[in-house]
Amino acid sequence: MAAGPSVIYRSRRRRRRRQLRRALLAAAVAGSLVALGGGWLVVRGWEARGHLISAAGLASDLSEQVLAGETGQARRTLTALQDQAAGAHDITTGPAWWTASRTPYAGRDITAVRAIAASVDDLAARAFPALVQLNPSALVPTAGHLDLAALSTAAPKLAAADTVVQQVRTRLDGIPATGLLPPIRNAVNTLRSQIDRLSGLTSAGHRGTALLPALLGADGPRTYLLLLQNLAESRSTGGIFGAYAVVQADHGQLTMANRGAGGDLQQFAEPVLPLDAATRALYTDRIGTFPADVNLTPDFPTAAQTFREMYRQRNGVTVDGVLATDPVALSYLLRAIGPVTMPGQPTLEAGTVVRTLLSQPYRDIESDSDRHGYFASSVLAIFDAVMHRQSDPRAVLTALDQATTERRILFWSARADERDALAGTGLSGVLPEQETVPTVGVFLNDGSGSKLDYYLTHSATLSVGSCRPDGRRELNLRLTLGSTAPSSGLTPAVLGLGLAGDPYTARVIVYLFSPVSGSLVSARLDGTPAPLGSGAQKKRQVGVISVDLPPGRSHVLDVNLLTPAVPANTAKLWLTPGVAPWTTHINSAPACAQ
C-alpha cells in the first residue's frame, strides 16, 4: 500500500529534524569549553557532556591537590580524570568526526575541536602525571634552608610536563585563526591564552628547578644584591632602587648580610659602565651616574649591571646577581605567610604593607637615612619570615607566581649560561629584540622629584586597527593617567623637589615603545596634537612625553603606532608596575586579507 502525502511529509519532516539535531549537536560540541583554575583546561561538548562535566570537577580537584601536596589523593583523582578525558577524546576521534572535519563548511570548526580534545587528553595522560609526582614543599624553604636534592629530583618531572605542554601549545597555534564560527574562534582564543599561561608556569618551573641548586650555592657560595623598588617614585621597571640588602647563598642556606639605601652609593662623576649614543640620547648620563636613575630604562639587565658596578666601586664587592622586588610583591608574600611584626614600628600586614612602606614613613619618619633603614629592615623581616615560617607551599608559590607575572620580581645573573636559561621569561626583565606578538611598552618615570607617584592611577586600552597595503597594521593606544593626591597636608618628604612647579602636581615622563621594527606615528593629549621626543632602543622606536597631573585630575593620551609587516590580529602591553593596579584592555581584530 503506497504511503499517502501526509505520511511522506511527516517522514521528510522527521529527517529534517534529525539532520537539524545532528547539526546543532556538532555545533554544540564544537563551541563548548570549560576553562579551569590553575591552567587545567578541559573541552566539553554536548555529546561528551557526561564525561566532561565530571572531568571539569576532577581537574579542579587535581589542581588543588597537587599544589597542596596531597599526592595520594591526587593520583586517584588523576586516574579518574584520565578516564573522562580519554572518553571525550574518543568521541571526537571517531569516523564521523574524521569525515566531518573534511567537509567544506564545518570541517575547519570540527578540526579545531578535535585538536582541542586531543590536547586535553595529552595533558591528562602525559603532563599531569609528572606534576602529580611533585612535592611542592621541596620548592619552598624550611627553617631557613632549601632542599637542593629535592629540587634536583623535581627538575626532570617538571621538564617532562613542560615538554608536553609546549607540544600542546604548538598544536593549538596550528589551528587557523580565521574562518571559524565566532563561538569556536572565541573558545580557541581563550584556550590558547590559558595554555600560554600554563606553558609559562611549567617553563618557569622547569627552568627554575634546573637553575636553583646552582643559584643557591650547590657548587659554591653565591652573593646577590636584593633591591626594593620604591613605587612612590616611578621608574620604568617599577620604582627607584630605594633600599638594598646583600644575600648570601651556600648549599641552600640563605642569609642576609650588609644592607643600605641606594642613595648611600652617591652620584658618580662619570658613567660606571659604557653608554652608547642611543642610550645617552634617551636617558642622559644619569642612567650611569646616579643610583636612582639606573632603571630609567625598562631593560632590567642594563639597570642591574649598572647598580652592581656602582656597588662594587663603593664597597669593593662583586656580587653574582641582582634580584629586585617591590612592596606590592611583599604584600602577596604576607598574604601567604601572615603578618610580620617590627619592633617599634607598625606590623607588616598584607592589606596595609604598601601604605606602611610607601606612605606612612614619609609622614612619621623625619630623616632619609632612618626611612631607608626602615625599608631595608622591613625587607629583612619579611625575608626572614618566608625563610623560617612553616607556610602553605601552595600559598607561597601562588604569591611568587603572581608577583613574577606582574614583573614585580626580576633577576639578573652574572653568568651567561644562567641568563640564557632565563631568556624569554618575565623574571629576566629583558627588553627583547624579537617577538612573535607585537608588544607596545608604556613605561613611567617620575619627573617631579617627589613621592607623589604613590597616588597615581592608570589604565590602558590597546586596539588592533586597520591593515595597510604594505603589510603593516595600525595599533591605537589610549592611556589614561590620573592622580588621587590631596591638595594639601603632605610633608616635604613627599613633595620633594616639586619640579612640576606646583608641589602637589605629579609630573610623569611617559616612555612609549613601539613593537620591534614598528613605529610611532602620532600622539594627542586630551585631543590636542602632542609632539613626542624621539629615540630608539633595541629595534624599537621610543617616544617621550611629559604629563603633569594636579590633584584629582587625569589626562588622556592617544597614540597611533604601526606594527612591522607581519600578520598580527592581536597585540600585547608591557607596563610599569605601580602601587595601583593597571586597568587594561586588548581589542583584537580579524586577520588581514592575504
In terms of domains, do 462 and 516 share one? Answer: yes
260 located within any domain:
yes
Of 3 and 453, which is predicted with more confidence?
A: 453
In terms of domains, do 343 and 457 share one? Answer: no
Residues facing residue 479 across a β-bridge: 460, 557
Residue 457 has pLDDT above 70, yes or no: yes
What's the confidence (pLDDT) of residue 144? 75
Phi, psi of 497 (to 5 degrees): -80, -20
What's the confidence (pLDDT) of residue 79? 81
What's the confidence (pLDDT) of residue 74? 77
Overall number of domains in the chain:
3
What's the confidence (pLDDT) of residue 146? 81
Of 36 and 373, which is predicted with more confidence?
A: 373
What's the confidence (pLDDT) of residue 520? 97
In terms of domains, do 460 and 572 share one? Answer: yes
Q: Give me 47's grid cell.
A: 555529546
Domain boundary among the residues 377, 395, 419 is at 419
| Nearest residue to 231 via CA among 41, 362, 322, 396 | 362
Residue 368 has pLDDT above 90, yes or no: no
What does the alpha-carbon distance between residue 2 and residue 467 come to, in Å, rounded to a whole number? 62
In terms of domains, do 411 and 534 share one? Answer: no
16 located within any domain:
no
Residue 395 has pLDDT above 70, yes or no: yes
What does the alpha-carbon distance between residue 576 and residue 229 come to, in Å, rounded to a whole number? 12
10 located within any domain:
no
Q: Give me 422's grid cell.
A: 632565563
Residue 441 has pLDDT above 90, yes or no: yes
Residue 16 has pLDDT above 50, yes or no: no
In terms of domains, do 438 and 363 share one? Answer: no
368 located within any domain:
yes
Domain boundary among the residues 215, 233, 267 is at 215
Residue 22 has pLDDT above 50, yes or no: no
Of 50 and 170, which is predicted with more confidence?
A: 170
Residue 480 has pLDDT above 50, yes or no: yes
Residue 102 has pLDDT above 70, yes or no: no
In terms of domains, do 228 and 180 share one? Answer: no
In terms of domains, do 257 and 364 share one? Answer: yes
Query: Which residue range forms the structural domain that includes residue 123?
Result: 22-215
Of 29 and 400, which is predicted with more confidence?
A: 400
7 located within any domain:
no
In terms of domains, do 290 and 413 share one? Answer: yes
Three-state secondary-structure class, residue 298: coil
427 located within any domain:
no
The stretch 30-56 carries a mean pLDDT of 39
What does the alpha-carbon distance between residue 43 and residue 56 come to, in Å, rounded to a whole number? 9
What's the confidence (pLDDT) of residue 306? 98
523 located within any domain:
yes
Pairing mode, if any, of strands 340-342 and 473-483?
unpaired
Of 36 and 161, which is predicted with more confidence?
A: 161
Residue 560: C-alpha distances to residues 37, 136, 473, 543, 565 (Å): 36, 46, 11, 11, 16
What's the confidence (pLDDT) of residue 99? 63
Q: What is the dihedral of CA 51, 57, 62, 65, to 10 degrees?
A: -150
What does the alpha-carbon distance between residue 594 and residue 587 come to, in Å, rounded to a whole number? 21
Domain boundary among the residues 419, 451, 482 is at 419
What does the alpha-carbon distance between residue 576 and residue 367 come to, in Å, rounded to a whole number? 28
Residue 340 has pLDDT above 80, yes or no: yes
Residue 39 has pLDDT above 80, yes or no: no
In terms of domains, do 159 and 256 share one? Answer: no
* Cβ 566 vs Cβ 436: under 8 Å: no
Residue 166 has pLDDT above 60, yes or no: yes
Confidence of residue 46 (pLDDT cuts 50, 70, 90): very low
Lowest mean pLDDT among 65-69, 295-299, 425-429: 65-69
Q: Give me 225's grid cell.
A: 644584591
Distance of CA 44 to the CA centre of its chain: 28
In terms of domains, do 325 and 458 share one? Answer: no
* Cβ 311 vs Cβ 291: under 8 Å: no
DSSP state letters, 63-117: HHHHHHT-HHHHHHHHHHHHHHHHHHHHHTTSHHHHHHTTSTTTHHHHHHHHHHH
What's the confidence (pLDDT) of residue 25? 33
What's the confidence (pLDDT) of residue 569? 86
In terms of domains, do 337 and 206 share one? Answer: no
Residue 123 has pLDDT above 90, yes or no: no
Residues 463-476 as b/e (b if ≥16 CB within 10 A, e otherwise) read ebbebeeeebbbbb
pLDDT in tens, 508-545: 999 999 999 999 999 999 999 999 988 999 999 999 99
Q: Where are the beta strands (DSSP E) in 279-373?
A: 321-325, 340-342, 345-348
In terms of domains, do 161 and 65 share one? Answer: yes
Residue 386 has pLDDT above 70, yes or no: yes
Residue with cell 519532516: 13
* Cβ 218 vs Cβ 348: under 8 Å: no
Residues facing residue 460 across a β-bridge: 479, 584
What's the confidence (pLDDT) of residue 232? 97
CATH number at residue 547: 2.60.40
Provide the 8-state DSSP code for 316: S
Rounded to the nearest 10 degrees, what angle do helices 148-173 and 182-215 cross at?
160
Question: Average per-residue pLDDT in the chain?
Answer: 83
Residue 24 has pLDDT above 60, yes or no: no
Q: Give me 3's grid cell.
A: 504511503
Q: What is the dihedral of CA 271, 276, 282, 284, to 10 degrees?
A: 20
E strand or H helix at 439: strand 439-446
CATH number at residue 312: 3.40.630
What's the confidence (pLDDT) of residue 201? 67
39 located within any domain:
yes
pLDDT in tens, 402-415: 899 899 999 999 99
Of 392 and 508, which is predicted with more confidence?
A: 508
Lowest mean pLDDT among 106-115, 226-235, 450-459: 106-115
